[in-house]
Structure 1
Amino acid sequence: MNASEFSDAFISAARSHGDGSEIGNSTLANQSYDKLINVVHKYRLKYGPERELVLPLLSHENSSIRTWAALFSLPIDEKLAIHTLSSVSKEPGIIGFSAKITLAEWNRGVLKIP
């Protein structure tokens, strides 16, 4: 899996997770979560940290993609990731709520990044 394939797969899975979450389709959301984590872990095994690949996704137009990118960016660029999560957390709906909880758990020091 090269960088382009990683980005495409990450974007697809993160978008699908957000779609499933927004419509209340837990099967779609859970399958998309599994795909997303699998993509990240496969890339890490072959190339190491995905850090240079997730940072550009912090400015993606899709809130779910920005939220997932921010989660994986917290150990890399905490300030930028927190800014992204704070911005998304102001949006209505489940994605905004998810960003708010992610940020709160990070601030409490209990967030585990997959």
Structure 2
Amino acid sequence: MKSKPLSEMSESDLVNEFVSSAIIQKEASEKNKFSVYNKLIKRIVELTQELKSRPGDRRRDLLPLLEHENIQVRLMAANETLAVAPEAARRTLQAIKDSNWFPFAADASTTLRGFDSGRLRPE
């Protein structure tokens, strides 16, 4: 069954697919299935871009995910909300980094370094 085009999905549907994609991404990472992981990065970016294109920039709908039980969901939500809620996203990234739960802590550390140095400029 083919999914609806992103433009026809509700914000809630987009967020739910974001969560599902990040959860599957974590599982793929744990099983060293990097082709699956990378494919899901692309999907998460597409979902986020669709939210961004909505009136009022609906990436804010991802903010509750900064408290999600799944570390990959938190990580991806923090990465994708840096432009709309930099303080909250940064706190989440710092908490993930401080957890020393690898590879998530390494990813959070890389993002923080890029953000703090100005090389990463979220839009």
Give the TM-score, by structure 1 length.
0.87
1:59 to 62, 67, 78: 67
The question of whether the paired residues in 2 share the 8 Å contact of 1:18 and 1:95 is answered with: no
**Which structure has the higher relative contact order (CA within 8 Å, separation 6+)?**
1
Deviation of residue 112 (structure 1)?
5.0
Write the mapping of 1:93-112 to structure 2, written as runs, cut at 5 A: 93-111=102-120
In the other structure, the counterpart of 1:17 is 25
Within 2, Cα distance between the matches of 1:82 and 1:35?
23
Within 1, Cα distance between the matches of 2:23 and 2:82?
19
Greater percentage in helix? 1
In the other structure, the counterpart of 1:70 is 78
Deviation of residue 67 (structure 1)?
0.8
Write the mapping of 1:78-97 to structure 2, written as runs, cut at 5 A: 78-91=86-99, 92-97=101-106
Deviation of residue 100 (structure 1)?
1.1
Code of the residue aligned with 1:83 in structure 2: it is: R
Within 1, Cα distance between the matches of 2:90 and 2:27?
23
- In structure 2, the gaps of 5 or more residues are 1-8
Deviations 1:27-69 (A, max 9, x none): 1101111111121223334545223211111110111111111
In the other structure, the counterpart of 2:5 is none
- In structure 1, the gaps of 5 or more residues are none
Code of the residue aligned with 1:52 in structure 2: it is: R
Once the two structures are aligned, what percentage of the paired residues are identical?
25
